[in-house]
Amino acid sequence: MAREARVSTAVVSYVMNDGPRPVAPATRERVLAAAAALGYQPNRIARALRARTTGVVGLILAEAPNPYFSALGRHIEQALSRREKLTLIGNAGFSADRQESLVDRFLAAQVDGLVIVSADGGTDVAAAAEAAGVPAVYVHHQPAAANTPFVAADNRASVEVAIAHLRQHGHDHIAFLAGPDDRGPVRQRTEAWQGIVGSTESRLLRCEYTRAAAARMTRDLIAGGAMPAALITATDEQAVGVLAGAWGTGLSIPEQLAVISLDGTPDSAHTAPSLTVTQQPLQAMAQQAVDSLLDAAAPGEPVRATLVTRRSCGCADTTY
Amino acid sequence: MAREARVSTAVVSYVMNDGPRPVAPATRERVLAAAAALGYQPNRIARALRARTTGVVGLILAEAPNPYFSALGRHIEQALSRREKLTLIGNAGFSADRQESLVDRFLAAQVDGLVIVSADGGTDVAAAAEAAGVPAVYVHHQPAAANTPFVAADNRASVEVAIAHLRQHGHDHIAFLAGPDDRGPVRQRTEAWQGIVGSTESRLLRCEYTRAAAARMTRDLIAGGAMPAALITATDEQAVGVLAGAWGTGLSIPEQLAVISLDGTPDSAHTAPSLTVTQQPLQAMAQQAVDSLLDAAAPGEPVRATLVTRRSCGCADTTY
DNA sequence: CTGTTAGCGCATTCAT
DNA sequence: ATGAATGCGCTAACAG
């Protein structure tokens, strides 16, 4: 390449990077022509070795096919891409072991940063990253002992608007579907619900964060005649499961059961019936996380979800 | 690190890689101890520069949040991970430009291979990859002029079993919901349907590959009284949209409209009603693609989808 | 068995 | 404004 343009490698570097030294227009042309002719592209690996920065960021997702993580992941990838970063992806699969192993492998690959969208708070990943001098940011879920930057929606605010809206529909007893145990963002949501409705007359339901589990629970509840009239689900996955479980048992939503979910994934617009949600600004969250990571700045305040009324709460369906 | 263990860098390399030269047990211990003490990890970038192989594979997805691509993507990432590869991810977003730009950036990052799960056949990505000496494999969608390895399910077989099953339910007129134009895998599906049902009395419907578009189309069809009694949808996304569109108009599925979809994503089990599908073996496809990529072997025959009967075709719901 | 050394492709410093 | 030379961390060839 350098000899094709009859210049030194240094000049090639100056041309490719627009600096740090000026290059005569004629020479620059010659280099550009040679590069085009040979299809030359700078080797990022060599550059990375020299510059001690790879332009690659590691993204760890709890489970990519989950619409919530998936949508968040795409926005993060896009935000990273806008900043000229490449995204290394890994699925932790709700396993602390896998998550740790991923971090190690990403660190060995010399990533410039780590974005962790996990659901399990098992390990404090940031420790390993910090030891390696690699910045990290948590999204959605912050492990107990972390003092690492953290981006999430205001969970309490979401619960507040959901409850307020169901009350407007005339519901006094509002049940809550939480996860199998109290951890992470769902814990905050659960506590917010408990704080607002009080322990009297309130019903706390629990099941795994899967459609299948929520559907099974719903059928059991209906069979036992124990289904409440209004329900807030901690996640969209569970809400979709509730809808699936209710269908076919003759329980009609929203007439017999009003439902609001707290994630607000794009998919929630096209369930049957369409799902009323508190919609988290996933793109803004992704942007916030990426900016905070790359600019080494503390992220701003938690963003607020907005209520999107559809059919499942009892409102008219305005989706179409 | 080398001086911490009081050995040369070469010996460290021999220990880390178990070769190619033997190391005395005592020395090995010393190296391992020093590595543990310093938290030393070999720099993969330097190794990559030297070995001319990065252990990183680029994965291009048409659109990550789409459950079909998402599930496929996760299986590919897992298969890659089993082979000790890291996955660089990028979303093409159905844009040929973005896809080309992603390929260039991945190539500059010296990926060891490229897996392309796209929906747009615009460019023959393989050309750029081949020019760079990087192996590539297409999954799901093969562009027109490609002689690159290609993995997909047997689309014709899927359509056959779907039609046969609807006929068992007594349906003579089976409509088909295709994409906005005839390209890629959906084209094969559409042609298979046309070949089997013949042009007489058959209804070819079209809409975008989104839930929203399919829902809108469904409502329009119902409003116009033009809804067929049996429908095969080319993709799960469209099927979910049909379900959403039918809900609330009073059209009951499967009684008034029997539906079978051809992708078979995991999500299809938890719609309302649950969706009968021809389920593609996504994990096997992912494995096949990765093996073919890394072993430079031609992939085997297209795999066959299996019919999973649920409620939407008229069968009893056996999901729970 | 282990120490020394060269070179992967680039960005940079020192010369010119 | 440009050429030559250096070193990033690693592996492999060559000496001991």
In this structure, the answer to whether residues A144 and A159 fall within a common structural domain is no
Residues A22 and A124 in one domain: no
In this prediction the pTM is: 0.94
Best mutation target among B52, B84, B89 (most A Cβ atoms within 10 Å) is B89
Pair B7, B83 in one domain? no
pLDDT of residue A123: 66
Q: Over chain B, what is the mean pLDDT?
A: 91
Report chain C positions within 7 A of protein CB atoms: 1-13
CATH of the domain at B10: 1.10.260.40
User: Tens digits of per-residue pLDDT, A218-227?
Assistant: 999 999 999 9
Within a domain: residue A301? no
Q: Is the CB of A38 under 7 A from strand C?
A: no
| CA–CA separation, A13 and A20 (whole Å) | 9
Contact B161/B169 with Cβ under 8 angstroms? no
Strand C close to A46 by CB, under 7 A: yes
In a domain, A229, yes or no: yes
- What would the mean pLDDT of A13-40 be, rounded to a whole number? 87
Residue range A152-170, pLDDT digits in tens: 999 999 999 999 999 999 9
**Range A196-204 average pLDDT:** 78
Cα–Cα distance, A174 to A160 (Å, whole number):
12
> Does A48 fall in a domain?
no
Angle at A52 between CA A123 and CA A298, to 5 degrees: 50
The residues, any chain, with a CB within 8 Å of residue B259's CB and separated by 6 or more, are: B230, B231, B232, B233, B239, B242, B243, B253, B275, B276, B312, B313
Measure A10 CA to D2 C1' (Å): 8
- The reply to whether B193 falls in a domain is yes
Does residue B118 contact residue B60 with C-beta atoms inside 8 Å? Answer: yes
Strands, E assignment, A192-253:
204-206, 230-233
What residue has its CA nearest to the C1' of D11?
A: B50
Q: Is B295 inside a domain boundary? A: no
Looking at residue B145, its pLDDT comes to 64
Q: Which residues have CB under 8 Å from B164's CB, separation 6+? A: none
A45: nearest CB among B48, B104, B106 = B48
Q: Which nucleotide is nearest to A15 (CA to C1')?
A: C11
Q: How many domains does chain A have?
A: 3
- Taking every pair of Cα atoms in chain A, the longest distance, rounded to a whole number of angstroms, is 84
B72 and B139 both lie in a single domain? yes
CA-nearest residue to B104 within chain A is: A41
Residues of B in contact with A217 (CB under 8 A): none
Q: How many residues does chain B have?
A: 320
CB atoms B272 and A219 under 8 Å:
no
Q: Do B272 and A270 touch (CB under 8 A)?
A: no
**Residue of A44, A68, A243, A319 to mutate when probing chain B, most B C-beta within 10 A:** A44
**Is any atom of nucleic acid chain C found less than 7 Å from the CB of residue A47?**
yes
Q: Is B50 left (phi over 0), alpha (psi -120 to 50) or beta?
A: alpha
pLDDT, tens digit, for every residue of B1-37?
777 777 888 889 989 888 678 888 888 888 888 888 8
B64 within 8 A of A91, measured Cβ to Cβ: no
Distance CA A313, CA A239 (A): 12
- Choose the final residue of a domain: B119, B151, B183: B151
Residues A197 and A128 in one domain: no
Is A119 inside a domain boundary? yes
**B167 and B244 together in one domain:** yes
A264, HSE (Cβ side, Cα atoms, 13 Å): 20
**Is the C-beta of residue B250 closer than 7 Å to nucleic acid chain C?**
no
Last residue of a domain, one of B120, B151, B182: B151
Residue A122, pLDDT score: 59
The token pair at A241 is 């499961």
pLDDT score at A201: 58
Same domain, yes or no: B145 and B202: no
Per residue in A119-139, pLDDT tens? 766 567 778 888 889 999 999
Residues in contact with A221: Cβ distance below 8 Å, sequence separation at least 6, in sequence order = A205, A227
A-chain CB neighbours of B266 within 8 Å are: 65
Query: Is the residue at B146 inside a domain?
Result: yes
CA nearest A105 in B: which residue? B86
pLDDT tens, residue by residue, A276-292: 999 999 999 999 999 99
Question: B215 and A71 in contact by Cβ < 8 A?
Answer: no
pLDDT per residue as tens digits for the range B136-194 = 999 998 876 667 899 999 999 999 999 999 999 999 999 999 999 888 889 999 999 99
Let me know whether A131 and A170 are in one domain.
no
**Under 8 Å between Cβ of B212 and A310:** no
Q: Please report whether residue B196 resides in a domain.
A: yes
Please say which residue of A105, A127, A151 terminates a domain. A151
As a rounded value in angstroms, the CA-to-C1' distance for B60 and D2 is 41
Q: Same domain, yes or no, for B219 and B179? A: yes
Taking only the tens place, the pLDDT of each residue in A229-248 is: 999 999 999 999 999 999 97
Q: Residues of B with CB below 8 A from A39's CB?
A: 131
Contacting residues of B for A212, CB less than 8 Å apart: 269-270, 319-320
**Closest among B56, B50, B47, B46 to A51, alpha carbons compared:** B46
- Decide if A45 and B45 are in contact by the 8 Å CB cutoff: yes
Measured CA to C1', the nucleotide nearest A5 is D2
Q: Which nucleotide is nearest to A49 (CA to C1')?
A: D8
What pLDDT is attached to residue B122?
60
Predicted confidence band of residue B319 (pLDDT cuts 50, 70, 90): low
Q: From the C1' of C4, which residue's alpha carbon is nearest?
A: B8
User: Do A109 and A88 reside in the same domain of the chain?
Assistant: yes
- Closest residue of chain B to A266, computed from CA coordinates: B65
Residue B82: which domain range?
A: 53-151
Q: pLDDT per residue over B64-87, tens digit each?
A: 889 999 999 999 999 999 999 999
The B 4-63 residues near strand D by Cβ under 7 Å are 9-10, 12-13, 16-17, 20-21, 42-43, 46-47, 49-51
Is A112's pLDDT higher than 60? Answer: yes
Strand C closer than 7 Å to the CB of B15? Answer: no
Tell me if B290 sits within 8 A of B261, measured CB to CB: no
Question: Does the nearest atom of strand C lie within 7 Å of A22's Cβ?
Answer: no
Kindly state whether residues A90 and A161 are assigned to the same domain: no
Looking up residue A224, the CATH number of its domain turns out to be 3.40.50.2300
Residues A37 and A90 in one domain: no
